[in-house]
């Protein structure tokens, strides 16, 4: 199920990264040619990723190391969306963070401070700093009144060695221990899609979203009424698709199919 001519006719693209452009530090088939096609055809595009570990500059540098040159303004992350959301809710607030520098820097940039005593929020993203000690502190802080925020609801993510736990899995023990539910800011939260469209300066009718996950990328596109393109190069397999009550408009093996 694919209409390549219709996909190619779109003026703007919202593109996931993990499982679409790369796995870890391995570039996926046709990723370079796809980005070159976007540029040569004057397509507006933004990489909209649920990963909170890296800043747009770091993501730009990562792609450069893999041979793809893209300016930082073409990236928007769940860390930036989370920071923007919290700044709108409680300007000048404080947080206890379980996550990587990309998330911490995004929160600093909107005026938040780090606080492991009585923060307004406990914010959880992906990262290697997750430990039993951090989990215990998060539970204690939430029990004392802090609100729980997750950068994204993904349970797993693709990596070079296979599937790895993602933010949703890391948040789950905290939810269970505190009997609370986290608020997730990343896809499929409409906040992320609105940010993407705003940055593209594009109408939803002229835009397509390309992703590898039915439960974040595709449902986000369906709910935003944006053309959906599922690629099978990441988390979702062809056998998974019938399990979902919504379906992608297009199914491709990978982005290598899109360039003419």
Query: HEC profile for 185-215?
Result: CCCCCHHHHHHHHHHHCCCHHHEEEEECCHH
117 by Cβ neighbours in 10 Å (0-12 / 13-18 / 19+) ranks as: exposed
18 is catalytic: yes
What letter would DSSP give residue 217? I
Spatial neighbors of 136 by CB under 8 A, at least 6 apart, are none
195 in the Ramachandran plot: left (φ > 0), alpha (ψ -120 to 50) or beta?
alpha
Say whether 16 is catalytic: yes
Question: Exactly one of 3, 16, 109, 217 is catalytic; which is it?
Answer: 16
From the list 3, 18, 109, 154, the catalytic residue is: 18
CB-CB neighbours of 5 under 10 Å: 8
DSSP 3-state percent helix, strand, coil across the chain (nearest 5)? 40, 20, 40
Distance CA 10, CA 137 (A): 47
* Cα 90-93-99 angle, rounded to 5 deg: 110
The rounded distance, in Å, linking the Cα atoms of 34 and 47 is: 13
CB 256 within 8 Å of CB 34:
yes
Residues annotated catalytic, as ranges = 16, 18
């Amino acid at each position: 199920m694919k209409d390549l001519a219709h996909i190619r006719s779109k003026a703007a693209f919202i593109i996931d990264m993990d499982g679409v452009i790369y796995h870890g530090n391995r570039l996926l088939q046709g990723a370079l040619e796809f980005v070159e096609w976007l540029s040569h055809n004057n397509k507006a595009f933004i990489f909209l990723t649920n990963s909170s570990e890296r800043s747009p500059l770091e993501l730009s540098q990562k792609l450069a190391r893999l041979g793809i040159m893209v300016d930082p303004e073409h990236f928007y992350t769940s860390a930036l969306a989370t920071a923007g959301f919290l700044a709108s809710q409680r300007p000048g607030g404080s947080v206890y963070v379980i996550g990587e520098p990309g998330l911490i820097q995004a929160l600093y940039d909107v005026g938040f401070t780090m606080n492991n005593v009585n923060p307004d929020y406990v914010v959880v993203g992906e990262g290697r700093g997750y430990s039993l000690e951090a989990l215990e502190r998060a539970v204690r802080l939430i029990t004392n009144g802090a609100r729980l925020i997750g950068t994204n609801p993904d349970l797993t993510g693709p990596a070079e060695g296979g599937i790895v736990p993602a933010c949703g899995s890391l948040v789950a023990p905290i939810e269970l221990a505190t009997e609370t539910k986290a608020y997730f800011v990343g896809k499929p939260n409409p906040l992320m899609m609105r940010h993407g469209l705003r940055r593209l300066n594009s109408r939803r009718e002229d835009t397509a979203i390309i992703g590898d996950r039915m439960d974040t990328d595709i449902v986000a596109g369906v709910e935003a009424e944006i053309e959906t393109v599922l690629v099978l190069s990441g988390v979702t397999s062809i056998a998974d698709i019938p399990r979902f009550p919504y379906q992608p408009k297009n199914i491709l093996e990978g982005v290598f199919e899109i360039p003419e």
